[in-house]
Copies of this chain bind each other. A is one copy, B any other.
């Protein structure tokens, strides 16, 4: 499926978000790349948009299940596009976030074999896995 401006507008509208220039800019930038973005990268993309608007835009995207937070130990929060089956309620699946120490990109990766975590007598609700190392492209 090709990504057009119209399809991006429709995506926003389907989540009850107005298709404003700033939102289209951020969302299509995210669609074009395969890695997560930080707030400062979003600021660079939208040079003359007020930072308050950007904070609110990110928040609305998270609320509506368009993006999710992909945390990384030492630095900024990274935001990644949600996949299609991502809803507002369930952001985290059996995927993980990989931070490459060489190219610094944060990507969502999916495991062929599901991770088995056994904690007797605990109830597990959410699992976040963050890995750092050298990514496929840099290796």
Chain A contact residues, CB within 8 Å of chain B: 69, 71, 73, 96, 98, 101, 109, 111-113, 115-119, 121-136, 139
Contacts and interface: CB of A to CB of B under 8 A. Distances in A.
A123 B113 contact: no
A135 B115 contact: no
12 contacts: A71-B71, A101-B125, A112-B118, A115-B116, A122-B134, A122-B135, A122-B136, A122-B139, A125-B133, A126-B131, A128-B129, A128-B130
A126 B97 CA distance: 12
A118 B111 contact: yes
Given A111-B119, A121-B136, A128-B129, 9 more contacts: A73-B126, A109-B119, A119-B131, A124-B133, A125-B132, A126-B133, A127-B130, A128-B130, A128-B131
User: How many copies of the shown chain assemble into the complex?
Assistant: 2
Nearest to A91: B73
B96 A117 contact: yes
Given A125-B133, A131-B127, A133-B125, A113 B119 contact: no
Given A127-B129, A133-B124, A133-B125, A116 B113 contact: yes
Nearest to A96: B117
A40 to B, nearest CB: 20
B121 A131 contact: no
